[in-house]
C-alpha cells in the first residue's frame, strides 16, 4: 500500500460580483455574449406560458 494522501482542496467562496467581472472579461475577450429572448407559448387550456431562450450573439463592433 501507498502512503500517498490526497491534498487538501482549497475552497474558494465566490461572490456574484466575481462572476460578473469574469463573465464581462470573457465576453470582451471572445467578442460574444449570451443573449436571452422571451417566447410566449400557447397552452391547451387557452392560457399562455413563457420561456426564455438563450443563444450566443456577437457583440457590436465599436467604430474607432
Nearest to 56 by CA among 28, 27, 29: 27
* pLDDT of 1: 57
Distances (CA, A) of 10 to 7, 19, 21, 48, 57: 9, 18, 21, 47, 35
* pLDDT of 12: 83
CB 32 within 8 A of CB 54: no
Q: How does pLDDT run along the chain (64 residues), one tens digit per residue?
A: 567 777 777 778 999 999 999 999 999 999 999 999 999 999 999 999 999 999 999 998 877 6
* pLDDT of 37: 96
CB 52 within 8 A of CB 45: no
**CA dihedral defined by 10, 15, 21, 24, rounded to 10 degrees?**
100
Amino acid at each position: 500500500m501507498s502512503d500517498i494522501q490526497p491534498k487538501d482542496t482549497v475552497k474558494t467562496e465566490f461572490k456574484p460580483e466575481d462572476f460578473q467581472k469574469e463573465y464581462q472579461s470573457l465576453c470582451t475577450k471572445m467578442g460574444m455574449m449570451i443573449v436571452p429572448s422571451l417566447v410566449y407559448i400557447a397552452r391547451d387550456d387557452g392560457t399562455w406560458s413563457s420561456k426564455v431562450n438563450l443563444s450566443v450573439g456577437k457583440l457590436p463592433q465599436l467604430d474607432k
